[in-house]
Amino acid sequence: MLSSFGKALERLFRKQRTPKKDESETVEVVTQHPTVESSKLYLKALPLRDLSDLDEIKREVRSGNIVIIRVNTLARKSIEDVKRAVNELCEFAESIGGDIARLGEERVVLTPSTVRIWRQKPPMPAKQASTAA
């Protein structure tokens, strides 16, 4: 099922292993901002169990946090709901000037407007010279 999910995410974006607990994981990142003495933002891993979880995810991003969304729980229930959720999150990211990207088969990262996701373009394969006369 996750294989078809991975393909579905690949189509949506065109551009490991999951912890058994359904608890949120948080990492604190301290940054220096030119106008603020020091501000804290958090990197949070949140599960997407249901479409109603989208409100909490959006709230976290609006407050300046980076969210890694584990979608495998919802994917086991409905791939269509995952597609709907990812499309909604893509529109949300665009509306706030944030960024969104796929992280493997089971995760999506969503960032506020102050954070960009680095994407490395795959190297172009070297063209071999034709040996035909």
What's the rounded mean pLDDT across residues 124-133? 65
State residue 12's pLDDT score.
66
pLDDT higher than threshold 50 for residue 88: yes
Query: 2-111, superfamily in CATH?
Result: SepF-like protein (3.30.110.150)
- Return left, alpha or beta for 83; rule: phi > 0 is left, psi -120 to 50 is alpha, else beta: alpha
Q: Alpha helices of 45-119 — where are they, by DSSP H? A: 53-62, 72-77, 79-96
Q: What is the mean pLDDT of the chain?
A: 80
In this prediction the pTM is 0.66
Pairing relationship of beta strands 25-33 and 36-47 according to DSSP bridges: antiparallel
Cβ atoms of 73 and 49 within 8 Å: the answer is yes
- Return left, alpha or beta for 104; rule: phi > 0 is left, psi -120 to 50 is alpha, else beta: left
Q: Where in the chain are the domains?
A: 2-111
| 15-62 tens-digit pLDDT | 433 444 444 555 555 554 444 445 788 999 999 999 999 999 999 999
